[in-house]
Each structure stands twice: as C-alpha cells, then as structure tokens.
Amino acid sequence: MKDRLTELIKKMPWRIEQEGLSGPRISNADKLADYLLGNGVIAPPVRLGQTCFEPCYYLNKADECRVSSIMQKADGTLKIRFTNLRSKWVFEMVEEDIGKHIFLTIEEAEQALKERSEK
C-alpha cells in the first residue's frame, strides 16, 4: 500500500512546500505516505474498474479481468474481487496475489504463462 501511495504522491500535479513564499512544502513522499497510512488512509494497488489480467493456463492465454470491489478486512488486509470478462467468473484475491496470480499488464500475464509452460 505504501509503495502505491508514494507513487501517487510523486505524480501529484502540484507541489506541497514546507516554508517560504510559495507555501508549505513536503519534499519526502515516503514520510508523507507513512503519515497518511498511519492515519487511516487506504491506498489499494488497483482501482475499481481497472483492467487486470489473469493467466488462463488451460487456454494458454491471458484473460482480461476487471476490479469489481475492494474491501478491507478487520485485520487491515485488502480483499480484491475481480470479474473475468470472458467467463464472467468472479473471484477474490488479496493484495499479495497481485504480481503472482493476477497481473496489471498483459505482458506480465503472458510472461507467467510462458514461465509455467517451460517447467
């Protein structure tokens, strides 16, 4: 979560200054991310409606999926629900599964397919 929040802070279209004529400034995005996360901000690694890709091993191709919901469990972990656009199958993953079982780009999903077929 922190990596995603730090990335978003660095991409902000404005700068927050610490002191001086231009107003307050925070130069360290990591410190700001820590502060926000420590105060209840949630920054999931995906957005609602975002397209992701699931390796479909029996068809040997990457299936397109959409993020259909994001829920925070009582222990603070995120449960992310995906809908497969081909089969309409709905499945859930946790944040740690992104990059292992579900991928943000088709290239990553195809690479996972290739690596599995080489085993």
Domain interval for residue 11: 2-38
* Residues 33 and 91 reside in one and the same domain: no
Distances (CA, A) of 116 to 55, 65, 109: 10, 20, 11
How many angstroms separate the most distant Cα atoms in the chain? Answer: 61
Alpha-carbon distance of 81 to 67, in angstroms, equals: 6
Number of domains in the chain: 2
* Residues 100 and 64 reside in one and the same domain: yes
What are the pLDDT digits (tens) for 60-116? 999 999 999 999 888 888 999 999 999 999 999 999 999 999 999 999 999 999 998
What is the model's pTM? Answer: 0.71
**Higher-pLDDT residue of 113, 14:** 113
pLDDT at residue number 87: 92
Backbone Cα Rg of the chain: 18
What are the pLDDT digits (tens) for 15-30? 555 444 454 554 567 7
**Higher-pLDDT residue of 8, 109:** 109
User: H helices then E strands: how many in the chain?
Assistant: 3, 4
Q: What is the dihedral of CA 85, 4, 115, 52, to 10 degrees?
A: 10
- Which neighbouring-strand residues pair with 70? 80
* Residues 65 and 24 reside in one and the same domain: no
pLDDT at residue number 108: 96
* Residues 32 and 63 reside in one and the same domain: no
